[in-house]
């Protein structure tokens, strides 16, 4: 609009809208079936400073008002404009009187109606004051004169919720805040220097915004101050902290009604950015072309937050006008009986949110704030014309209908699963375009919202009380300083360079590349070599090498540095000597080793690992060297061979190919496979013979890219064992892994069963990539969770990827240019993997621990049980023991029962452990009260010394779990591993409901409150109490996850959430024990022996 005067243009615009809708507003609102909006005008008292620019003519001024209309007079008295609205709120109106006008909207929200209520007006006219009031007044828990609409609405709603509770209605009030800035939406509850972008669909649903449960108005001050500290503001001539964005405070009321139905309503209060003129605010007046030019320059400079006041103001005005226009369009559609939907492709986030209400989703209302000052006459006229247009809007109002609670829960579970599955498709990819970015934001937000909703629904269904939240003030500055402009917060992106290229050596995780030469069919098709390889300057011999990927036009598609790159000049022996041979000595010295080949299908992985009989690969050469040094090690060797096919483990050494195999984890992070066939090795030749026979049972299939493509991952596991020992208790393990190749089905041409195989292969490899990326991110974030268990493949390889192992990764690629995309993906994975840091246990430390254990064992006494019982005389008195004891095995488990419970209560578990080859003892400790915990510790330590137990596995049930934790804290080197179980909370539906009726909090933890010094946690994700200070050891944490006695498989209910809090304190691997038998638990315990 560079050639159009501002005021005449707006006059023409409003006249055009008036012709479209007709007049007057009241007459239009009489039509049946449609609901008009309540539009209030609030007149601000004259301020000390008007913001008037000296010399500027006054074109219009506020003349008079009555209860339902306002009159504007031109300065020459030639024309008057009278505007009709629902109610005029004069300057003398207090906040409480303003609130009284909005009560109809509030009552509708409490019953069954969504509400959208917003404040509109010139900058500095009192919109924020109307919505929030005086911030300092929020320190009060009860209404005071300074409160605005938002705190009064919250207070009234919370009072109603207390009344409903007495009538059997359970409810929760959730609050969230969204900033609409420059066309996008941002969560105001996130980091102000990197606000998280949210997505809004055409139905007004917001994805990715975090909510806070409100239980008291005392929470508001801190929360609102944080929201406004995060909001985008700037200093103008009209306002020292002018809002440069629209801010939506959204209250969502969830109710479980007495008839077991569910109802959700939403009240959105939106503080709109003020309309403005550049001549008043001090900004430069700009047209669309100038704004685009400025935005482009700032984007290129990487500083979009520095958008000028003039550009911001113009965009604000444009968006406000567009919102009014869309509301009018919606009204016209409804008058003609036509549905209305906003066009998402061209709409801003604010437009979408407003327009979603125009199809009847919400009851709408607004307060338009104006100034009495003559210097702001035109802005007042503009605001009143805007109010009149809003009053013209009529939409069909849809009330929210209650839904059966069971159905709502079922749909919420499905939505959460669908959201997680959809978002998982991103893996570690990053959005590369605006469309992809919006998709990413929407899908990640859906995961967040569905999870929060599911947790809340479960709590309402159970009738559990709301979580206690911190109240009170805030240490934030008020008024807040101008916030930085919003930036999109992305997940940490992939690294750009390998560890070596960044100057970091990684002796525990080496990455090599093997380049397959062109095949005959590729040469005949005209494919060319797309790689160049060169040594780099590095203080090692041989030096690392750089592999560069070039397209046909010589464009560089990727350049990476690895330990070594093997081209076709390297034979099988060369590859083995340069990559793997040095690890054989480590394996024989008791260090875990993992070797795996990764890459696209048909790039030579199986050739590298197995190779033909006349030119064997890594497996054969490794076995030969292992047997050369095996005799000198004094150890025995066992081996196992499995395939992972469509995420099912199959024993390739068993003729029936049994598939009832289950991976189990030891204390050091290494993994063994339960029920697998282990063979004692007599020669390398015998192992290779069995591997060849097993290979014939392995799933393969021909397709367009490989005539004999592996359709499963194959893993040869070598176990180094002490003479006479068991393979499951190996001193060290070596994994030799031939991964199935990733593939694009459009290139491989697979269909049917082969397509299912390809999906499973790609899925497990995506899990592998996710594990690698998580390990790298955790190095900076301090997090310890890694999704190993998402796939059987990553679970088995846990020790080799970030665990206790030395690892060699050989990534296989092809020279063929037509596979360049797949090769680049493989090289990127290898580059990421080069940053993984394994934690190899030092042999010296292990030897010292073994020596200390031998000294303790030598001082022990012989024990003999009669009918599973014995009494032993300890230094502090006699102790009764139950269990199973032969003295022939070093797999010792000590079971500690709950308070005042006899050892016989653990007989089922004791018997199950005995069948698994464990020595089991259940001591009858002397303590009969929690205060006697120290006496129990003395007795238990005396028992360990008397028996010569160096490091048994200790299991504790209920208060026995507290005994186990306390003993580990006092004597950390005398316990190998701790398994904790909450058995008391394991109850059926009848018992659970009875406990809830009595207010028995044992369902939420019972004895485990000791973690928090005996008090029930007073906040979400609470810190440990003094009792658990210094706890640093991992545990297995068995917790029964249920909702009122029904299995909670997804662990989303209140009981499961409490278990997660307790488990986090105990650094536990939380396992749902609700459906576990004693035999299942015994298997878990035995895995640590």
Read off the pLDDT band of 961 (50, 70, 90): very high
More confident residue, 181 or 480: 181
How many Å apart are CA 705 and CA 748, to the nearest integer?
Answer: 5
State the residue for tokens 């049946």.
32
Instruction: Say whether 927 sits in a helix, a strand or coil.
Output: coil
Q: How many CB atoms lie within 10 A of CB 663?
A: 20
pLDDT at 745: 44
pLDDT at 49: 46
How many Å apart are CA 808 and CA 786, to the nearest integer?
Answer: 20
Q: Residue 6 belongs to what H/E stretch?
A: helix 6-21
pLDDT at 893: 93
Q: Residue 155 belongs to what H/E stretch?
A: helix 149-166
> What is the tens place of the pLDDT at every residue in 411-460?
877 776 666 666 655 544 555 555 555 565 556 656 566 666 767 777 77
Whether residue 1013 is predicted with pLDDT greater than 90 in this model: the reply is: no
3-class secondary structure for 588-622? HCCCCEEEEEEEECCCCHHHHHCCCCCCCCHHHHH
167 exposure class (CB count in 10 Å sphere: 0-12, 13-18, 19+): exposed
Longest dimension (CA), the chain: 114
Mean pLDDT highest for which of 168-172, 255-259, 413-417, 934-938? 934-938
First to last CA, the chain: 79
> What is the tens place of the pLDDT at every residue in 635-664?
999 999 988 887 688 888 887 766 678 787
Whether residue 686 is predicted with pLDDT greater than 60 in this model: the reply is: yes
pLDDT at 284: 67
Pair of tokens at residue 570: 């390297």
Cα-flanking dihedrals φ and ψ of residue 98, to 5°? -65, -45
pLDDT at 411: 81
Torsion of CA 226, 227, 230, 231, to 10 degrees: -150
Flag the least confident range among 921-925, 990-994, 1019-1023. Answer: 1019-1023
pLDDT at 623: 94
Cα-flanking dihedrals φ and ψ of residue 242, to 5°? -75, 130
Looking from the CA of 132 toward its CB, the CA atoms found within 13 Å total: 21
Instruction: Say whether 667 sits in a helix, a strand or coil.
Output: coil
pLDDT at 689: 92
pLDDT at 436: 54
> What is the tens place of the pLDDT at every residue in 295-338?
777 666 656 556 777 777 777 777 777 777 777 777 777 677 67
> What is the tens place of the pLDDT at every residue in 501-542?
877 777 788 899 999 888 888 888 888 888 999 988 777 778
Q: Which residues contact 857 (CB under 8 A, 6 or more apart)?
A: 948, 950
pLDDT at 1006: 77
Pair of tokens at residue 430: 């990053």
Whether residue 1060 is predicted with pLDDT greater than 90 in this model: the reply is: no
Whether residue 548 is predicted with pLDDT greater than 80 in this model: the reply is: yes
Read off the pLDDT band of 701 (50, 70, 90): very low
How many Å apart are CA 894 and CA 921, to the nearest integer?
Answer: 5
3-class secondary structure for 406-472? HHHHHHHHHHHHHHHHHHHCCCCCCCCCHHHHHHHHHHHHHHHHHHHHHHHHHHHHHCCCCCCCCCC
Pair of tokens at residue 82: 């009278």
Q: What is the mean pLDDT of residues 130-142?
A: 80
β-strand 87-89 against 115-121: which pairing, if any? unpaired
More confident residue, 485 or 606: 606
Whether residue 854 is predicted with pLDDT greater than 50 in this model: the reply is: yes
Flag the least confident range among 339-343, 383-387, 927-931, 950-954. Answer: 339-343
Whether residue 935 is predicted with pLDDT greater than 80 in this model: the reply is: yes
Q: What is the mean pLDDT of residues 456-468?
A: 67
| Closest by CA position to 119, among listed 425, 386, 451, 396 | 386
Flag the least confident range among 90-104, 115-129, 762-776, 1034-1048. Answer: 762-776
Instruction: Calculate what percentage of the chain has a pLDDT beyond 70.
Output: 74
Q: What is the chain's mean pLDDT, rounded?
A: 77
How many Å apart are CA 220 and CA 216, to the nearest integer?
Answer: 8
Read off the pLDDT band of 477 (50, 70, 90): very low
pLDDT at 624: 93
């Amino acid at each position: 609009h560079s050639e159009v005067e501002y005021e005449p243009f707006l006059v023409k615009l409003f006249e055009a809208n008036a012709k479209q809708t007709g007049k007057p507003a009241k007459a239009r609102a009489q039509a049946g079936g449609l609901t008009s909006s309540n539009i209030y005008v609030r007149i601000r008292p004259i301020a000390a400073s008007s913001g008037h620019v000296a010399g500027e003519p006054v074109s219009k001024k506020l003349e008079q008002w009555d209860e339902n209309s306002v009159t504007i007079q031109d300065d020459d008295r030639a024309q008057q404009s009278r505007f009709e609205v629902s109610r005029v709120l004069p300057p003398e109106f207090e906040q409480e009187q303003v609130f009284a006008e909005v009560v109809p909207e509030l009552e509708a929200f409490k019953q069954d109606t969504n509400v959208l209520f917003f404040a509109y007006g010139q900058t500095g006219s009192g919109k924020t004051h109307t919505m929030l009031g005086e911030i300092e007044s929020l320190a009060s828990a009860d209404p005071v004169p300074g409160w605005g609409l938002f705190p009064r609405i919250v207070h009234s709603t919370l009072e109603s919720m207390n009344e409903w509770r007495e009538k059997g209605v359970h409810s929760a009030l959730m609050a969230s805040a969204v900033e609409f800035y420059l066309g996008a939406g941002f969560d105001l509850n996130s980091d102000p220097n990197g606000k998280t972008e949210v997505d809004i669909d055409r139905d007004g649903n917001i994805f990715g915004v975090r909510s806070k449960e409100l239980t008291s108005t005392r929470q508001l001050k801190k929360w609102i101050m944080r929201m406004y500290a995060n909001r985008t503001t700037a200093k103008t001539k009209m306002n020292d902290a002018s809002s440069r964005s629209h801010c939506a405070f959204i209250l969502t009321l969830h109710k479980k009604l007495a008839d077991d139905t569910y109802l959700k309503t939403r009240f959105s209060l939106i503080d709109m950015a003020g309309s403005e003129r550049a001549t008043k605010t001090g900004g430069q007046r700009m047209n669309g072309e100038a704004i685009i030019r400025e935005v482009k320059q700032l984007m290129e400079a990487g500083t979009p937050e520095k958008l000028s006041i003039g550009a911001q103001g113009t965009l604000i005005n444009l968006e406000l006008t567009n919102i009014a226009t869309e509301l009018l369009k919606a009204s016209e559609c409804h008058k003609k009986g036509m549905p209305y939907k906003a066009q998402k492709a061209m709409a801003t986030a604010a437009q979408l949110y407003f327009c979603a209400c125009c199809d009847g989703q919400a009851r709408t209302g607004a307060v338009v704030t104006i100034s009495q000052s003559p210097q702001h006459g035109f802005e007042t006229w503009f605001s009143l014309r805007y109010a009149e247009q809003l009053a013209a809007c009529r939409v069909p109002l849809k009330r929210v209908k209650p839904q059966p609670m069971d159905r709502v829960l079922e749909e919420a579970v499905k939505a959460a699963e669908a959201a997680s599955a959809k978002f998982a498709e991103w893996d570690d990819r990053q959005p590369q375009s605006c469309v992809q970015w919006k998709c990413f934001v929407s899908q990640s937000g859906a995961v967040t919202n569905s999870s929060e909703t599911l947790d809340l629904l479960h709590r309402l269904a159970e009738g559990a009380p709301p979580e206690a939240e911190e109240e009170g003030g805030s240490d934030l500055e008020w008024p807040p300083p101008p916030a930085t402009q919003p930036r999109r917060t992305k997940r940490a992106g992939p690294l750009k360079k390998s560890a070596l290229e960044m100057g970091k050596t990684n002796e525990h995780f080496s990455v090599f590349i093997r380049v397959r030469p062109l095949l005959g069919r590729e040469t005949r098709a005209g494919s060319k070599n797309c790689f160049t390889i060169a040594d780099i300057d590095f203080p090692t011999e041989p030096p690392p090498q750089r592999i560069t990927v070039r397209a046909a036009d010589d464009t560089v598609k990727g350049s990476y540095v690895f330990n070594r790159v093997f081209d076709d000049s390297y034979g099988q022996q060369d590859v083995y000597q340069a990559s793997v041979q040095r690890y054989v000595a480590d394996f024989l010295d008791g260090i875990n080793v993992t070797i795996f080949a990764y890459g696209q299908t048909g790039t030579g992985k199986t050739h590298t690992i197995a190779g033909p009989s006349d030119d064997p690969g890594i497996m054969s050469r490794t076995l030969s060297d292992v047997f050369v040094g095996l005799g000198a090690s004094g150890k025995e060797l066992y081996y196992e061979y499995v395939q992972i096919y469509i995420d099912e483990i199959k024993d390739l050494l068993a003729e029936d190919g049994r598939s009832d195999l289950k991976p189990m984890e030891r204390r050091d992070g290494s993994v063994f496979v339960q029920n697998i066939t282990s063979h004692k090795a007599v020669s390398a030749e015998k192992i290779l013979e069995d591997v060849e026979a097993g290979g014939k049972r392995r799933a393969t299939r021909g397709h367009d890219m490989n005539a004999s493509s592996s359709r499963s991952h194959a893993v040869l596991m070598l176990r180094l064992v002490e003479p006479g020992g068991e393979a499951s208790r190996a001193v060290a393990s070596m994994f030799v892994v031939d991964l199935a190749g990733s593939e694009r089905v459009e290139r491989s041409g697979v269909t049917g069963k082969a397509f299912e195989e390809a999906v499973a292969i790609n899925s497990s490899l995506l899990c592998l990539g996710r594990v690698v990326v998580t390990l790298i991110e955790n190095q900076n974030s301090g997090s310890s969770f890694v999704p190993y268990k998402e796939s059987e493949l990553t679970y088995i390889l846990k020790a080799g990827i970030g665990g206790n192992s030395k690892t060699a990764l050989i990534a296989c690629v092809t020279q063929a240019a037509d596979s360049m995309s797949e090769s680049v993906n493989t090289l990127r994975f290898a580059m990421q993997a080069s940053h993984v840091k394994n934690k190899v246990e030092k042999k010296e430390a292990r030897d010292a621990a073994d020596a200390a254990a031998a000294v303790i064992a030598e001082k022990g006494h012989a024990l003999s049980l009669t009918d599973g019982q014995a009494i032993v005389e300890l230094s502090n008195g006699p102790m009764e023991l139950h269990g199973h004891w032969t003295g022939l095995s070093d797999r010792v488990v000590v079971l500690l029962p709950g308070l005042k419970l006899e050892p016989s209560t653990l007989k089922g578990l004791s018997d199950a452990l005995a069948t698994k080859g464990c020595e089991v003892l259940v001591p009858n400790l002397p303590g009969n009260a929690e205060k006697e915990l120290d006496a129990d510790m003395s007795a238990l330590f005396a028992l360990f010394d008397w028996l010569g137990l160096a490091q048994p596995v200790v299991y504790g049930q209920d208060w026995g779990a507290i005994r186990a934790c306390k003993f580990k804290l006092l004597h950390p080197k005398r316990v190998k591993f701790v398994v904790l179980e909450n058995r008391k909370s394991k109850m059926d539906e009848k018992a659970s409901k009875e406990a809830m009726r009595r207010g028995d909090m044992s369902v939420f933890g019972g004895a485990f409150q000791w973690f928090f010094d005996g008090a029930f946690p007073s906040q979400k994700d609470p810190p440990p109490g003094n009792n658990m200070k210094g706890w640093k050891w991992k545990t297995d944490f068995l917790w029964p996850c249920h909702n009122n006695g029904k299995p909670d498989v997804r662990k989303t209910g209140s009981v499961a959430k409490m278990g997660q809090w307790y488990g986090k304190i105990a650094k536990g691997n939380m396992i749902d024990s609700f459906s576990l038998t004693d035999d299942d638990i015994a298997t878990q315990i035995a895995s640590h022996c």
